[in-house]
Copies of this chain bind each other. A is one copy, B any other.
């Protein structure tokens, strides 16, 4: 497998990594311009730029880049002076961070979810769909998505999330919507939305409060979800929701 094939696999798997490319070298250096290495978040590697102290320095710079606001960085190394390497020479390395795509989990596999899934995939979210009904939650209806044939509330309770998770709740049943929200709202997330009218939204807030969801968690709820563009059809509603998801993603990582 070439390094590019490995990179393609990492992207398909939704994994974050930093790609380091030698862009200049002078004197006696272990690697020539174009040499590449991939550094994963756990420090593991694909490819090499020569090993030893210089590789260690690149790995360190890559790990710093993972948590830095910028997406790229250029690293200059003077092999002899700074690193005590005997081969001499100078290398410039370009580092580029590839963040893992944000995951969108759709609870409910109805008409709106199908449109949201297709459009969200198109703008590079990874998409998971959860519904217990096999006639709705099928790979045919959701190509390119992870499809889980499970009760949405069970999945919501069991999942562990982080601040980059997006959740859209659109099940076929209001009590089920509510059970899913009760489980999701206390968990970390970038976005939790539920489909429905302004009236349904108010009712839901009251019921969730009554069910003991704390005010801080309740503030996370976007309901009605989607930007207020007057959307009516499933395809239009998907545009309004995915526009809001992009807004959340871009405000979270403006340079991505």
**Which residues of A are in contact with B by a Cβ distance under 8 Å?**
119, 122-124, 227-233, 235-236, 239-240, 242-244, 246-247, 249-251, 254, 256
Contact = CB atoms under 8 A, between A and B. Distances in A.
Contacts of A254: 230
Contacts of A227: 227, 229, 243
A229 B119 CA distance: 15
A112 to B, nearest CB: 13
Contact of A229 (B124, B243, B256): B243
A190 to B, nearest CB: 13
A122 B230 contact: no
A242 B251 CA distance: 20
A250 B124 CA distance: 27
Contacts of A243: 227, 229, 239-240, 243
B239 A242 contact: yes
A90 to B, nearest CB: 34
Contacts of A250: 229-232, 236
Contact of A123 (B123, B228, B236, B246): B236
Nearest to A235: B123
Q: Which 7 A-B pairs have the closest CB atoms?
A: A230-B250, A229-B247, A243-B243, A123-B235, A229-B246, A239-B243, A236-B246
